[in-house]
Structure 1
């Protein structure tokens, strides 16, 4: 999980370095285009083998959610501090909890509801509406967290019928295809240096997902989840030391509140899973 956080901060650092010179849709398209090239050896046999009934529709819908998410994320990353992007992004697991209850009928016990409310308070601490300007970059990152949650909920459904490798490969392919017309619409000339930077983004992202998968296989979520808070520390240091961004204690505080709520939800689910039984309603509130 330490390596995961460093990889994902590497992604944000490179995108921040590229700035607004390349439109968000084009940057995202080139990043996922590199991802498709990396995954091409696995994509071709996968396509030849075919897919289970109904999966292609789910791949398409997930592609729509993920496309919207990455465009919003690239837009936000080029416009607001790295630490703020990271802190707001921590809302994603909270939105997943709410979405799982709404779509899959998972139970939202009182404790989980309270944890979600605490996480939202953490987001308000980061944004501080009314006390400072909430920019388009902040709104874009909120939208990105929401769209990513939708994408991961569909991935959860897909995980029941296809392999994890297939899910990742088809995500890269569908997002690249869906981004193509938007990238063409706003296309600006790019040089080889910019292309190589975006290849590095794809490499960092792939490495981050790989390390995260290995961590999930090696330790319970209750152990790995709190470590993700260190990603905010790395992001804050990156913004301060590389990009000259001020260290905002309220962003760190808000991120800590969100991570605390997420860690509680994760720990509680791990306890219930170890119990091996579904608790009665009185035991979950």
Structure 2
């Protein structure tokens, strides 16, 4: 999880370093095209046997993911690394609400309190009425919502498709939906910009891989609190590399959001463990 944090913060740093030299939609498209090339060896080995229903879900997930990535790339050009990092933590909160509304999962009072705490954290970060809200803040709120929708789609697919197939189809459909967005404002990237995007794709892929290893090796109550380190590193990187001010309100609000996410994650892990014990107990 420590390595995962380094990888994901590195992704944010690299995208931030690109600045506005490449339109957000094009940068997102090129990132996924490079990602598809990295996944090519797996695609050649994995049989693409997909039902019509699964393909529809894959396509809908591609819409959510494509929109979220565009919003995210745009937000990077507008707000600080720390703000991007903490507002992206809202995805698990959105997922909890969506799972209750669309997947029929129980909504406990602990989850409700955690969601309210996360809302307090967001208000602390944005401080509406005290300072102007940047379009980048709105973009990150939309990013977290889109990524939550993408995750819920993945969750509905997890029982009938292999993890490799899910990742491959995500990259293919996201790249497809990003293509027209990229062509609207196409700017030919330099070799240096393509190199940065290649590093983005590699760091993101490595981050997902190390996160999967962490989830296999330790319970979520151990791994999830380490997410807080990403906020620390993002704040330090923004201050050192991009001369961004360390905002105590962002740190405070981010801490509250992370505490809410950790509470939700540990609660869900405990619920799954209890269900598993109940299913395996002799009747």
Same fold (TM over 0.5): yes
What is residue 84 of structure 1 aligned with on the other side?
Answer: 83
The answer to whether the Cα contact below 8 Å between 2:220 and 2:269 also exists between their aligned partners in 1 is yes
The answer to whether the Cα contact below 8 Å between 2:48 and 2:165 also exists between their aligned partners in 1 is no
- Deviations 1:236-256 (CA, angstroms, capped at 9, x unpaired): 000001111000011011110
What is residue 245 of structure 2 aligned with on the other side?
Answer: 246
SS of the residue 1:242 aligns to: helix
**Structure 2 unaligned blocks of 5 or more:** 279-283
Task: Determine the C-alpha separation between the residues in 1 that align with 2:273 and 2:170.
Answer: 32
What is residue 199 of structure 1 aligned with on the other side?
Answer: 198
The answer to whether the Cα contact below 8 Å between 1:118 and 1:258 also exists between their aligned partners in 2 is yes
What is residue 18 of structure 1 aligned with on the other side?
Answer: 18
- Deviations 1:139-190 (CA, angstroms, capped at 9, x unpaired): 0000000000000000001111101111111111111111111101110121
Task: Determine the C-alpha separation between the residues in 2 that align with 1:259 and 1:58.
Answer: 30
Task: Determine the C-alpha separation between the residues in 2 that align with 1:64 and 1:151.
Answer: 8
Tell which deviates more after alignment, 106-115 or 143-152.
106-115
- Residue 278 of structure 1: how far off its partner (Å): 9.7
Task: Determine the C-alpha separation between the residues in 1 that align with 2:51 and 2:3.
Answer: 34
Confirm whether residue 99 of structure 1 aligns to residue 91 of structure 2.
no
Q: 1:49 to 1:250 in 2, by over 3 A?
A: closer
What is residue 208 of structure 1 aligned with on the other side?
Answer: 207
Task: Determine the C-alpha separation between the residues in 2 that align with 1:215 and 1:197.
Answer: 27
What is residue 282 of structure 1 aligned with on the other side?
Answer: none
1:50-199 pair list within 5 angstroms: 50-199=49-198
SS of the residue 2:159 aligns to: coil
TM-score norm. by structure 1 comes to 0.94
SS of the residue 2:106 aligns to: coil
**Structure 1 unaligned blocks of 5 or more:** 280-285
- Residue 235 of structure 1: how far off its partner (Å): 0.2
SS of the residue 1:188 aligns to: coil
TM-score norm. by structure 2 comes to 0.95
The answer to whether the Cα contact below 8 Å between 1:82 and 1:235 also exists between their aligned partners in 2 is yes
The answer to whether the Cα contact below 8 Å between 1:52 and 1:162 also exists between their aligned partners in 2 is no
Confirm whether residue 3 of structure 1 aligns to residue 12 of structure 2.
no
- Residue 78 of structure 1: how far off its partner (Å): 1.4
1:268-279 pair list within 5 angstroms: 268-276=267-275
What is residue 232 of structure 1 aligned with on the other side?
Answer: 231
Task: Determine the C-alpha separation between the residues in 2 that align with 1:277 and 1:63.
Answer: 31
- Deviations 1:196-222 (CA, angstroms, capped at 9, x unpaired): 100000000001100111111111111
Count of aligned pairs between the two proteins: 278
Q: 1:133 to 1:52 in 2, by over 3 A?
A: same
SS of the residue 2:149 aligns to: helix
CA RMSD of aligned residues (A): 1.4
SS of the residue 2:242 aligns to: coil
Task: Determine the C-alpha separation between the residues in 2 that align with 1:101 and 1:278.
Answer: 22
Task: Determine the C-alpha separation between the residues in 1 that align with 2:147 and 2:44.
Answer: 26
The answer to whether the Cα contact below 8 Å between 1:221 and 1:266 also exists between their aligned partners in 2 is yes
The answer to whether the Cα contact below 8 Å between 1:52 and 1:161 also exists between their aligned partners in 2 is no
